[in-house]
Every structure is written in structure tokens, then in C-alpha cells.
């Protein structure tokens, strides 16, 4: 069994998804994991990977890699981040309806990069990305094999952090207008 198979077996055996694995110059072994929706974890019910998840996987991988005599200098286990790569058909299916950025292997109509909403193709086993070209919405059908790289587009929502000062500013702004929306 190869070192990558040992890592995959260990990560999936602990109930996590192996998102990415790479061996970097200098002996760094980098492993990205994600939680599987609907799976119960001993570290609690969180939507995202926690530090405790990474620690648990790290401890188990250190034992497995030592037993398998895998040569590495450092092990780094982390979440895939907000711009999570989509590397499997299962991850495409999981994130249908989300904003993604894809880079095609070969250009289509002069471009390789597209950003938009990921959808299942209307016909067949392929995929679609629905994007706005500056004038109208466009749909690009593509096959998994045609993609060099695909990632989620990070969605940051800071409204939850505004607190009372932001709410007070909103209330003051709404007091300035009349029913017709004209400022007094």
C-alpha cells in the first residue's frame, strides 16, 4: 500500500473526507480534510472542520505513517478553506447550487476561466456553470474531465458581526425617509 492510500484510508476511516493531499519539497506532507454532512463527530456539531478535528487526524496519521515507515519531515492537517477545491465527482454533486470558479484544460471561445453557479447538466452526466457575461446569463456545459481546476468561490457575510451600532445606523437611515422613499 502506498503512503497516499494509507492517508486516504486513515482519514476516511475517521469519518472525514480527504479533499487534497500533497507532498511538498522539504518533506512537508499536507493533508486537507472536510466534514461529511450528516456524520456525527466527537468534537461536536459544527459545519466546518475544527482545530480538534485536525488534531485527531494528525495524531492518527502520525501513528499510521510511522508504522508504514513513510519518510516525511512535517505533517500539516487542515481544512480546505473557504475556496475549497473540487477534485471529485462527489464534491461536484455536494456543491451543486454554489458559486464556483472553474479553469478548463482547453479554452472555449477564447477563455479558460469561468465563475458562476454550479448545476447538473440538463442532459447526460455532465455539469453546467451559469454565469453572467456582462449582458445576460450564459450557460456553459462541461464534463468533469475537461476541468483543470475547480474551487468554491468564498462567500463572506459580515452582517452578523455588525452588532447594535450597525442596526442603529440602519434605523437612523430609515427615519430620514418618508413613505415614498424621498429624503426630507
For residue 100, give the CATH number of its domain: 2.30.30
Residue 68 belongs to a domain: yes
* Secondary structure element (H or E) that encloses residue 56, with its range: helix 51-67
Q: How many domains does the chain have?
A: 2
| Shared-domain flag, residues 74 and 100 | no
* 140 belongs to a structural domain: yes
pLDDT > 70? residue 171: no
Question: Domain for residue 61, yes or no?
Answer: yes
* pLDDT band with cut points at 50, 70 and 90 for residue 169: very low
Question: Residue 136 is part of which domain span?
Answer: 89-152
pLDDT tens by residue, 38-90: 888 887 888 889 999 999 999 999 999 999 999 899 999 999 999 999 999 99
- % of the chain at pLDDT higher than 90: 67
Q: Is residue 143 part of a domain?
A: yes
- The contacts found for 156-162 with CB under 8 angstroms, 24 or more apart, are 156/82
Amino acid at each position: 500500500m502506498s503512503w497516499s492510500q494509507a492517508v486516504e484510508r486513515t482519514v476516511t476511516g475517521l469519518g472525514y473526507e480527504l479533499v487534497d493531499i500533497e507532498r511538498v519539497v522539504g518533506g512537508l506532507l499536507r493533508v486537507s480534510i472536510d466534514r461529511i454532512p450528516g456524520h456525527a463527530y466527537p468534537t461536536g456539531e459544527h459545519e466546518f472542520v475544527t482545530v480538534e478535528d485536525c488534531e485527531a487526524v494528525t495524531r492518527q496519521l502520525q501513528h499510521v505513517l510511522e508504522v508504514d515507515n513513510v519518510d516525511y519531515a512535517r505533517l500539516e492537517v487542515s481544512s480546505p478553506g473557504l475556496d475549497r477545491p473540487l477534485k471529485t465527482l462527489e464534491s461536484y454533486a455536494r456543491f451543486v447550487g454554489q458559486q464556483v470558479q472553474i479553469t478548463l484544460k482547453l479554452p472555449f471561445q477564447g477563455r479558460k476561466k469561468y465563475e458562476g453557479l454550479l448545476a447538473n447538466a440538463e442532459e447526460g452526466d455532465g455539469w453546467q456553470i451559469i454565469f453572467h457575461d456582462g449582458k445576460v446569463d450564459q450557460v456553459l456545459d462541461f464534463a468533469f474531465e475537461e476541468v483543470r481546476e475547480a474551487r468554491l468561490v468564498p462567500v463572506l457575510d459580515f452582517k452578523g458581526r455588525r452588532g447594535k451600532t450597525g442596526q442603529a445606523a440602519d434605523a437612523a437611515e430609515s427615519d430620514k425617509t418618508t413613505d415614498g422613499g424621498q429624503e426630507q
